[in-house]
Amino acid sequence: ALIYIYLLWQLLIGRSNAYLPAEEYWRAKLPNTEMPKALQDLLQKDTGSMKNFAEASVDNWQILYNIFNYNYLESASPFEKYLVSRANLTIFFLYSDLHPNTKMNLLFTKSTNKATFLSREKADYIPFSSDKLSDILIHFSITTKSKAADAISKTLKQCEAPTIEGENKYCATSLESLVNFNIATLGENIEIYSTPAQEETKKQEYTISEGAHRVGDNAVICHKQRYAYAVFYCHVIHSTDIYLVSLAGADGTRIEAVAVCHMDTSTWSPNHLAFQVLQVEPGPAICHFPGSDTLVWSLPVELRPPSACGMVERELCASVAHPGHV
């Protein structure tokens, strides 16, 4: 009888290790990294977010701002170029402009995508691939030609799309898989950055005030997707620097935003929106401000070799060689 009790105990222990509560799993794997509020909010019990996720962030600005931040093989369509011209917003900017007194038209918004995480056990059970789309829609009682079905299909295709040279990507379907991918990529000494969500903002001119402080490189950038539950599209691109940028709005608003700077864009599509907007050829370092539902996971900053500074102006190079404020 004792052997059966022991085996049952071992089974229960093994199961608890496999499926620890998400908060406990985080503390066990990343004891020195505080869980961002953006992730804490996604651990709350679902309050209907699974039903309205398809309506989240579907305005033209969000489409341009979110999609073109990571589809580096995509070419800009005439309609997308039209949207950019009408929006009058800074979606991309040159690395050489990352210095005090640079002015940009920006809009910082709070994400309307409230889809929460499933437990890892449930997420592992539900299929996640385009060839299982019908099964996924049936599981969530979603009709085939609905906005929700379209959002799910697009997310799956994005997760399955080819990568550019030097890119590694992964779609995390649970908090645990998100943690595991980042630890496997970066190790356990991780810092996480995001632009604070703004309750009420308007499009306005912002000025880089105190400059940009480099906080990491070769980061993992994770974008929340429009899906029936919380899914993050994470990708790693080498030669990527992360900055915290102090911005002052025309109305007095002050924001410390995260800027992602891709130091080598030579492998991007020649027709990518960034090149269309900036009127440059592939190659130069290009930056952008990701949305509030994007998390940047990074190692602590390491000095960039002085030789890498030749492409930018002298003042900016000095700040990179000697970390501080630009």
pLDDT digits over 101-138, tens only? 999 999 887 777 889 999 999 999 999 999 999 999 99
By percentage, how much of the chain surpasses pLDDT 70?
71
Mean pLDDT along residues 35-39: 90
Banded model confidence at residue 38, pLDDT cuts 50, 70, 90: confident
Q: Span 169-174, mean pLDDT? A: 95
> Considering only 161-170, 279-288, 301-310, which range has the smallest mean pLDDT?
301-310
Domain range enclosing 115: 22-321
**Which one has a higher pLDDT value, 120 or 75?**
120
| 9: in domain | no
Q: What's the predicted TM-score (pTM) here? A: 0.78
Residue 14 lies in a domain: no
User: Domain for residue 91, yes or no?
Assistant: yes
pLDDT at 210: 81
| Average pLDDT of the residues in 75-92 | 70
Which pLDDT does position 114 carry in this prediction?
84
Across the chain, mean pLDDT equals 79
Q: Is 305 a member of any domain?
A: yes
| Residues of the chain above pLDDT 90, percent | 44
Q: What is the pLDDT of residue 72?
A: 61
pLDDT in tens, 239-296: 889 999 999 999 998 999 999 999 999 988 888 888 888 999 999 999 999 888 899 9
pLDDT the model gives residue 61 = 46
Q: How confident is the model at residue 326 (pLDDT cuts 50, 70, 90)?
A: very low
pLDDT in tens, 197-236: 666 667 899 999 987 889 887 789 999 999 999 999 999 8
Q: What pLDDT does 75 receive?
A: 61
Position 57 scores a pLDDT of 44
Ranges 61-70, 153-162, 174-183, 261-270, most confident: 174-183
17 in a structural domain: no
Give the total number of structural domains in the chain: 1
Q: What is the 3-state secondary structure (H, E, C) of the chain?
A: CHHHHHHHHHHHHHHHHHCCCHHHHHHHHCCCCCCCHHHHHHHCCCCCHHHHHHHCCCCHHHHHHHHCCCCCCCCCCHHHHHHHHHHCCCCCEEHHHCCCCCEEEECCCCCCCCCCCCCHHHHHHCCCCHHHHHHHHHHCCCCCCCHHHHHHHHHHHHHHCCCCCCEEEEEECCHHHHHHHHHHHHCCCCEEECCCCCCCCCCEEEEEEEEEEEEEECCEEEEECCCCCCCEEEEEECCEEEEEEEEEECCCCEEEEEEEEECCCCCCCCCCHHHHHHCCCCCCCEEECCCCCEEEEECCCCCCCHHHHCCCCHHHHHHHHCCCEC
In a domain, 115, yes or no: yes
- More confident site: 240 or 3: 240
Q: What is the model's pLDDT at position 163? A: 82
* pLDDT number for residue 9: 43
User: What pLDDT shows up at residue 211?
Assistant: 76
Let me know if residue 13 belongs to a domain: no
119 in a domain, yes or no? yes
Stronger pLDDT, 191 or 86, i.e. the higher one: 191
Most confident range (mean pLDDT) of 38-47, 69-78, 255-264, 267-276 is: 255-264
